Every structure is written in structure tokens, then in C-alpha cells.
A and B are shown apart, each in its own frame.
Chain A
Amino acid sequence: MTPPETQRAVHAVFRIESARLVACLTRMVRDVGLAEELAHDALVAALEEWPRSGVPERPGAWLMATAKHRAIDLLRRRERLERKREELARELEAKEEAGAEAAERAADEEVGDDLLRLVFVACHPILSPEARVALTLRLLGGLSTAEIARAFLVPEATVAQRIVRAKRTLAEEGVPFEVPRGPELEARLSSVLEVIYLVFNEGYAATAGDDWTRPELCEEALRLGRVLAELLPGEPEVHGLVALMEIQASRLRARVGPGGEPVLLLAQDRSRWDPLLIQRGLEALARAEALSPPAGSYSLQAAIAACHARARAPEETDWARIAALYDALGSVAPSPVVDLNRAVAVGMASGPAAGLALVEALRAEPSLASYHLLPSVRGDLLAKLGRLSEAREEFERAASLAGNARERDLLLARAGACARGAKPS
């Protein structure tokens, strides 16, 4: 292998192993920041050593052993060594002597637990959402600061600072390295899911771009979600989130038109939906539903997405089921946007008059005051009822609120159609 090839191999191995490394080291040294430094040191050592001696047969084990030795050295060299630390160091050395393989077999079982602990630490609610995202991508995704910065279109220094401050906060607040239990688990879990979905949405809302492009953000979030589903297989909302992401990701190729404009779901070319991801999404949803009927917000959103995914054409959509699911979603995670989506579904299932009745209630909703989809939906329902001049006003209003030129054009075109007396089919 040439040196550059070896370098790339090192980075690939690190990406595969780093979360595990950091997780195990955190358990050893009880400090996420220190654990990350030790992992990084092992990476540097590999970059120096492997081009000379070749990539080892078990590269993960090599990195772990290297990092552990450094950990032991460090714990020893610390200036004011507490008794506990000395004991810890002795413990570690004893384990080393007992034989690396035996230690590793035991470590195998612990790895899953350690990874889970790391997930909960990185997503601790004491940190701001941005800090949680940066820390998660760094510690669990193995992303560099530069990659994270590029993904979120913020300066590298900002990301670096966020990570430094996050680690400091965790240390200062004495956040324990453990998996929360009982009722605390649900609350902490929703914090974790929020982080993963945040990352996904950053990638889902935009189009292709650079090296670390936004579709790759969706991939990263999907990967993290899938890993979490294996770590917490008994949690329906985890499978629900994975299902939602798989199905939404299945539409990535259909979401953007040739001019870079967003294409709404009902207008998308379904032959561009990825059947593999849809299949995976439906399987994940089935796993969630095997544990409990869809009750959490992610599982419900996934069930709605699945309704669309199963329809080969918009006309085949089970709108009645979607309306019922939005009903349930509205009680679990109430929001005016959910209510609006429900109105659309009801309009499709029970006719435009029924949908319009629901929209009327939302017109006074302050948070929807500048949301262009509200007048857009109202306009659509009015047009279907033949109330064309009112529909035209709504479409023009929606156009004025739309943030995207192409969408504005589409809405103005609909307004124009109403003016010409063309009722939508």
C-alpha cells in the first residue's frame, strides 16, 4: 500500500472505530473530552506507524490498545493523582496483563452499553441543540470539525468552540457516564432523537452541493438512527424515527426539480423514489408497531409517510388513514402545522368542504400568519369548491409570503388559472 492509500485506510478505520473507542475510553477515564483526545492520539499514532509496518490485521484492536496505554500513562502522569485514579490505573494494567484477548471479549459486551452511554452524554439536554449536534457528529459520527462546519454552513471556529464548551459543561456539571433509567429514559431519549432528526432535516431541506453535501447529512443521520435502533431495539420511537428517515430519504431524488426548485410530495415523480429505502422504512415501522401501536410522534409521522410510500400514484393514497393519523399526532404533538396537514388530508378524504371547515379555525392562528402554505391550502380547497375569485386572492396572498421564487411562480400560476375560470380537476 502506498502511503496515501494507507492514510486513507487509517481514516476509514478510524471512522468505523472512533465511536467505540471514545465510548470505551470514556468509561475508563470518566471524561468525554479526555477520551476524545486519547482516541485522536491513537489516530495520529496509526498515521505514523501503519505506513511503516502496514495496516495491522485487527486495526480496531490496535487503536484500542494504543489508546488504553496512553490512558494509563496519562492517569499516572497527572500531577495531583487522587487515590481513585491510581487504583483505576492499576486496575487497567492488571486487565492488560490478564491478556488482551480476554479483556476484549468482555469488552465486546460492554461496547454496546458504552456506546449507548456516550449517545446519552453527547445528547444531554443541558447542552444547547447546536452543541448536542456538534458533539454527536464528532463523537459518534467521527466527523472532523471542518466537516461539521461545512455541513451546517457555519465557520469552523464556531463549531470548534461549541465542542470545547460542550465538553467543559459536561465536566463541570459532572454529567455521569450512564444510560438513564425508567421515566428519565423517555425524556432523555427524546433529546437524542431530536438531535438525530435535526441533522437529518439539515440534509433533507436542501440540494446537492460540495464535498460533504447535504444528502450525505441525511445518510449520516440515518446511520446514527440505525445504530441507535440496534442499541435500543425495545424502543418503538427509535424505530419510528428510523422509519421516518428511511422513507423521507427515499424521496430525495424526486424532491428537487431540474432548476433546483423544491417539488411537493403530490407532484413528485414516484419512479424516482428509492424502493430499497421505502422497504427498509416499512420494515422499521413494522418493528415499531410490533412493540406498540403508533403512539409517539415519530412513529405517527412515519406511519403517515408510509401511507404515501405505499401509494403508487397520488390517487391511490389512503387519505382517510392519513387524516386519522394526523388526528392522533395532533394529540401527541399538537401544532398548527399538524392541524393544517390534517385539514389537507380531511379535504382529500371527505371532500373540500370538510377540509375548508378545519382551515377556517386556523386562519387566526398567529404562528401561521406568515406561513405561505396556509393560504395556499385554503386557495386549493376554495378552488375545488368552485369559489374561484376567493381562491385567486388566497393564491396571490400565498405567493407574496412564499420564500422561494419558483414556488411563488407556481402559486401565481394557480391564481392566474382561477382568474381564467379554470376549476382544478
Chain B
Amino acid sequence: MRFMVIVKADEKSESGALPDGKILAEMGKFNEELVKAGVMLAGEGLHPSSKGVRVRFSGKKRTVIDGPFTEAKELVAGFWLWQVKSREEAIEWLKRAPFDETEVEIRQVFEAADFAQSDPSGEFRKRDQQLREAVEARRR
């Protein structure tokens, strides 16, 4: 299962100031732990919204709006993509992050299986089994 972990912006991140050395070091160590555990898929920080831009859609109309945007805590400052077995595992990992005073969101990523057909007659499951048997036979 994949989860996106969304770090919200605050006044500090929006000001463009780099976090202090100690926090950077701690975050670096945390990221290292994620990589060592084989859990980290991706992780990036985002430039402040003053460098950002929004595109407003209204029917066929497109309007481009320059940042910065207000409501810092509604903005995204960074994200991770983690591969874990359960939501609880994502939570336990996030608890180990060196954040001080903020809320960080965890959202599950849709997988192909989530879009899979429902199978009330068990037909897909049967074909599944046949396919596995065929693959097994081929391997022998």
C-alpha cells in the first residue's frame, strides 16, 4: 500500500527561510531511517507559495493567479510517498518524525486493485486460479 504524507506550510516555511541546522539534521536522519527500512518511495520539499501559481478552471475559462497565497496552513510545504503494509504502519513511522508543533496528514494512494471489478459470481477469482495453475505448469 502506498501513502502520501502531506506536510503543511506555516509562516516560517512560507517566508522561504531554511529550517535551522538541527532540524535539518534530524529530518535527514529520519529520511535515512525510511530509506534503510525500504519504505521511502519519494520525498520532496516545495518552494514557498510566493514562487507558486494557481490555475483557476471555470468551464472553458483558465485564469492564472500568482502566489503567495494566504491561509498558510492550507498550503502544502512538502510530501512523502511511503510504501507500507498498513495505515497503522504509516502512522507509526510518522510518529517518529522530528516535527515540533504541527499536523501532518496521511492519505492512502489509490491502487489499480481499488478500481478492480467486483466479482459477485466468483468468475474472476476462478480465472485467477486457472492463470496461476497455468503459470505453475509452465514453470515446471
Residues in A lying within 8 Å of B, measured CB to CB: 8-9, 11-13, 15-16, 59, 112, 153, 205-209, 213, 215-216, 219, 222-227, 230-231, 252-253, 259-262, 276, 280, 372, 403-405
Contact = CB atoms under 8 A, between A and B. Distances in A.
A50 to B, nearest CB: 12
Contact of A403 (B35, B83, B91, B134): B134
Interface string B103-140: 00000000011001000000011011011101101110
A85 B41 CA distance: 43
Nearest to A261: B131
Interface of B: 35-39, 41-42, 81, 83, 85-86, 88-89, 91-93, 112-113, 116, 124-125, 127-128, 130-132, 134-135, 137-139
Contacts of A112: 36
A206 B93 CA distance: 30
A259 B67 CA distance: 47
B88 A209 contact: no
B131 A260 contact: yes
Contacts of B135: 205-206, 403-404
A332 B8 CA distance: 50
A261 B131 CA distance: 8
Contact of A9 (B88, B134, B138): B88
B92 A9 contact: yes
Nearest to A16: B92
Given A230-B35, A276-B42, A404-B134, A260 B124 contact: yes
B85 A403 contact: no
A12 B86 contact: yes
A217 to B, nearest CB: 12
Contacts of B139: 205
B72 to A, nearest CB: 28
B88 A207 contact: no
A59 B135 CA distance: 43
Given A16-B92, A219-B83, A227-B37, 20 more contacts: A12-B86, A12-B92, A16-B89, A153-B132, A206-B132, A208-B113, A208-B116, A209-B125, A222-B38, A222-B83, A223-B37, A223-B38, A223-B39, A223-B83, A226-B38, A227-B36, A230-B38, A260-B131, A262-B131, A280-B41
Contacts of A8: 86, 88
Majority-rule SS of B interface residues: helix
B140 to A, nearest CB: 10
Given A207-B131, A276-B81, A9 B91 contact: yes
A216 B132 CA distance: 16
A260 B128 contact: yes
Contacts of A13: 92
Most chain B CB atoms below 10 A, which of A207, A213, A252, A259: A207
A333 B134 CA distance: 26
A140 B50 CA distance: 46
Contacts of A222: 38, 83
Contacts of B86: 8, 11-12, 15
A250 to B, nearest CB: 12
Given A9-B91, A9-B92, A213-B113, A16 B131 contact: no
Contacts of A403: 134-135, 137-138
